[in-house]
Structure 1
Amino acid sequence: MTQTIATELTETITKLVLEELSKVGLAPSGEPLKYVPVGVSARHVHVNRAHMDILFGPGSELTKFKDISQPGQFAANEQVTLIGPKGTIEKVRILGPLRKDTQAEVSPSDARKLGVNPPVKQSGVHDGTPGITLVGPKGTVVIERGCIVAERHIHMTPAEASAFGVQNGQKVQVKIEGPRGGIMNEVMIRVRDDFALDMHIDTDDGNAFGLKTGDKVEIITE
Structure 2
Amino acid sequence: MNDNELRALIKQIVEEETQPGIPIGVSNHHIHLSEEDFETLFPGQKMTKFKNLRQPADFASNSKVTVVGPKGEIPGVRVLGPYRKQSQVELSLTDGFQIGVNLPVRMSGNLDGAPSVTLKTDAAEITVAGAIAAKRHVHMSLEDAKKYGVKLGDNIAVEVTNGKRRLVFNDVVARPREDFVLEMHIDTDEANAAGLSKDSIARIISDNN
Matched position secondary structure for 2:173: strand
Is contact 1:34-1:219 (8 Å) kept?
no
Matched position secondary structure for 1:38: strand
Matched position secondary structure for 1:159: helix
Is contact 1:40-1:202 (8 Å) kept?
yes
Matched position secondary structure for 1:134: strand
Q: Deviations over 1:112-170 (max 9, x none)?
A: 00100010001011012101000023110112x21000010000011011112222110
Q: TM-score, normalised by structure 1?
A: 0.83
Counterpart residue number, 1:53: 39
Matched position secondary structure for 2:151: coil
CA–CA separation in structure 2 for the residues paired with 1:45 and 1:137: 17
Matched position secondary structure for 2:197: coil
The equivalent position to 1:125 in structure 2, one of 92, 95, 110, is 110
Counterpart residue number, 1:64: 49
- Unaligned regions of 5+ residues in structure 1, if any? 1-26
Q: CA deviation at 1:34?
A: 5.0
Counterpart residue number, 2:22: 36
* Amino acid across the alignment from 2:131: C
Matched, 1:146 2:149: no
The equivalent position to 2:86 in structure 1, one of 89, 101, 123, is 101
Counterpart residue number, 1:215: 200
CA–CA separation in structure 1 for the residues paired with 2:86 and 2:126: 13
Is contact 1:40-1:212 (8 Å) kept?
no
Q: Which deviates more, 208-217 or 104-113?
A: 208-217
Change (3 A) 1:44 1:65: same
The equivalent position to 1:164 in structure 2, one of 148, 171, 181, is 148
CA–CA separation in structure 2 for the residues paired with 1:182 and 1:201: 13
Identity of aligned residues (%): 41
Matched position secondary structure for 2:193: helix
Is contact 1:133-1:141 (8 Å) kept?
yes
Q: Which deviates more, 151-160 or 166-175?
A: 166-175
Matched, 1:177 2:161: yes
Is contact 2:160-2:200 (8 Å) kept?
no
* Amino acid across the alignment from 1:149: A
CA–CA separation in structure 2 for the residues paired with 1:113 and 1:188: 27
CA–CA separation in structure 1 for the residues paired with 2:92 and 2:197: 15
The equivalent position to 2:178 in structure 1, one of 170, 193, 198, is 193
Matched, 1:155 2:139: yes
Q: After the TM superposition, which parts of structure 1 deviate over 6 Å for at least 4 consecutive aligned residues?
A: none
* Amino acid across the alignment from 2:108: S
- Unaligned regions of 5+ residues in structure 2, if any? 1-15
How large is the RMSD of aligned CA atoms in angstroms? 1.6
* Amino acid across the alignment from 1:165: G
* Amino acid across the alignment from 2:116: G
CA–CA separation in structure 2 for the residues paired with 1:65 and 1:37: 21
CA–CA separation in structure 1 for the residues paired with 2:185 and 2:167: 17
Q: CA deviation at 1:212?
A: 3.3
